[in-house]
Amino acid sequence: MNYTNIKEKSLAELNVLLKEKKVLLFELTIKQKTMQLTNTSELRVVKKDIAKIKTAITAAS
């Protein structure tokens, strides 16, 4: 997910996307705790996506 794609979205779309990514992060964390997550780099990618979305929300405000 590129920042240029994120900053083109509206504030409402960004909030929905942020909620989806947080749910995904929660699910991945639970999978990691129960030893079901094979690719742990997914956690890092989702965290970075959340940070990009939060940056775009702050810039839009």
User: According to the model, what pLDDT value does residue 14 have?
Assistant: 94
Find how far residue 55's CA is from the centre of its chain.
12
User: According to the model, what pLDDT value does residue 25 have?
Assistant: 97
Q: Do 12 and 26 meet the contact criterion of CB atoms below 8 Å apart?
A: no
Low-confidence stretches of the chain (pLDDT < 50) are none
Q: What is the pTM of this model?
A: 0.89
- Helix (H, G, I), strand (E, B), or coil: what is residue 60? helix
Q: Which CATH topology does 3-60 take?
A: Helix Hairpins (1.10.287)
Summarised one tens digit per residue, pLDDT across range 34-47 is 999 999 999 999 99
Q: Would you list the domain boundaries of the chain?
A: 3-60
List Cβ neighbours of 9 (8 Å cut-off, separation of 6 or more): 17, 56
User: According to the model, what pLDDT value does residue 23 have?
Assistant: 98
